[in-house]
A and B are shown apart, each in its own frame.
Chain A
Amino acid sequence: IAGITQAPTSQILAAGRRMTLRCTQDMRHNAMYWYRQDLGLGLRLIHYSNTAGTTGKGEVPDGYSVSRANTDDFPLTLASAVPSQTSVYFCASSDSTTDTQYFGPGTRLTVL
């Protein structure tokens, strides 16, 4: 693994289903983030984690949950998907020296 990986690349999901988006980094960054990106809007922060074992809510946390059991993994769970959660989801991690965020390739999620 080099950098940040996300899985799946894309997914079509029925409304009401549970879904977990996976994110793994191998850069030993302490901080990790989940964003959603919708057309015409800036990236919006869903949840973040400053270090393993801690998480925090971002701008749009409702309907999403995260966990941070270790440094490398930061999964995002939609407990009961709704069509408004159709979006592209990006995971990122940051270098504590410069605060620069590095992004995974994204997951394109469609909720029908």
Chain B
Amino acid sequence: GQNIDQPTEMTATEGAIVQINCTYQTSGFNGLFWYQQHAGEAPTFLSYNVLDGLEEKGRFSSFLSRSKGYSYLLLKELQMKDSASYLCAVMDSNYQLIWGAGTKLIIKP
């Protein structure tokens, strides 16, 4: 079966750095997405990786290793507004997105 694993919850301190991991087993691979979802709101797109390596976008970076079935989202200089759930999703061979359950990130002052 297809499976996306990510930690259920993480806690970090304002101003610090946090890394949210995602491992996947899917039938085929056509890219990996990270989304941010604030409580009670819709998911919003953060990043897309299809090749191995690091993609940097401001305070957020996303890394992919296809051989290991592994990705991480790195958030730097954490702000209180970064408190949200972070969703990892993989596009399979049918170009359908398979979603992880999300990681709830709690930022403490």
Contacts and interface: CB of A to CB of B under 8 A. Distances in A.
B4 A42 contact: yes
Q: How big is chain A's contact interface, by range?
A: 10 to 19
Contacts, number: 42
Given A90-B42, A90-B43, A100-B45, A42 B96 contact: no
13 contacts: A42-B4, A43-B97, A44-B99, A48-B96, A90-B43, A99-B31, A99-B91, A100-B33, A100-B45, A101-B33, A101-B97, A103-B42, A105-B42
Contacts of B48: 98, 100
A98 B91 CA distance: 11
Interface of B: 4, 30-31, 33, 41-45, 48, 87, 89, 91, 95-102
Interface in A3-57: 40-45, 48
